Amino acid sequence: MKLLAAAALLAALVPAAPSGPSLGARHGRLDDCAHPEARLRTGAHGRERNDLTPAQAASVEQRLNRILAGLDLGTADRTDGSTNRAGLRRATQISIPVYFHVIHDGARGNVSTGEVMRQIGTLNASYGGRNGGANTRVSFRLMAVSRSDNAAWFSDPERYEGTFKPKLHRGGKGTLNLYSAYIGGDLLGWSTFPWKYRSDPRMDGVTIHYASMPGGSIDHFNKGFSATHEVGHWLGLYHTFQDGCSAQGDRVSDTPAERDPTNGCPSGKDTCTSPGYDPVHNYMDYGYDTCMTSFTAGQGARIHTVWKAYRA
């Protein structure tokens, strides 16, 4: 009953979208297919948009820790998640309003409201621990869907994001703006980090390749976990391979150190001498969507801590 009520509410809020076959059937053109190593490849800026150098990450963490010290949050909110399970048990659920912006070129990329709802459902399952791993106590609720029929924005969102984001952005620092478009260069998406919000709030948000949504046409990357991964960055998580095998790593104590990003879904991958195999099933690695299943409790605790510092 609740699902039917939500659907009725959304039907009133959202402009009509085309019905018909699934994303894959409707949009399965050759140029919508990403390379099998899609998450290992770079965008127009020379590296994956959310890769940080060790020096950049160290600077971010120093600033974050200064903010946290000023908030006097206590040991349960340490950013490395070392008190992760206790911290998560005490954490208040974070409910995030989402404005979904469909950027399309006529019929191409004009995903239906049902497909948008399935992507939101995938986010809730991922962050709720329903595919495995920890329940991060983060949930998402769709507020509205906008549609922009613009061939230039659709085909080159990296070039035009400075144009469309200020026009489309809704809400404040705790509101997720999620944009779908066609992303070339075998890149599946990118995100802004929460510590960037204050300097440029209208650019805040997550952009994904529309064909990576659940049922999309990109082989190995069509379960909607590209959005899960990018929203992880929006919430303050690094890649699991951040800083490689160094002691700092991704600043989460219960994700084993990892030198190299994962391609596909290998078993027994172990690129660092420290304990534990590489976290190939973690949403913040680069594995296939079929390989991704989980966040850790430490990642959930870090999300809540970073949220208090930058998005609460």
State both tokens at 70: 């000023």
- Residue 268 is classified by DSSP as S
Mark whether 230 is an active-site residue.
yes
Question: How is the chain split among helix, strand and coil, in percent rounded to 5?
Answer: 35, 15, 50
Task: State the SS3 of 61-122.
Answer: HHHHHHHHHHHCCCHHHCCCCCCHHHHHHHCCCEEEEEEEEEEEECCECCCCHHHHHHHHHH
Neighbouring residues of 47: CB distance < 8 A, sequence distance ≥ 6: none
Q: Find, among 152, 37, 45, 40, the residue nearest to 106 by Cα.
A: 152
Identified catalytic residue from 48, 161, 230, 258 = 230
Residue type, 281: H
Max CA pair span of the chain: 55
**Concatenated DSSP letters for 166-197?**
HHH--S-TT-EEEEEE---TT--EEE--GGGT
Q: What is the CB-side half-sphere exposure of residue 196 using CA atoms within 13 A?
A: 15
Q: CA-CA distance, 127 to 134, in Å (whole number)?
A: 8
Burial 150-176 (b: 16+ CB within 10 A, else e): eeebbbebbebbeebbeebbebeeebb
Q: CA-CA distance, 282 to 242, in Å (whole number)?
A: 13
Burial 43-65 (b: 16+ CB within 10 A, else e): beeeebbbbbeeeebeebeeebe
* Residues tagged active-site: 230
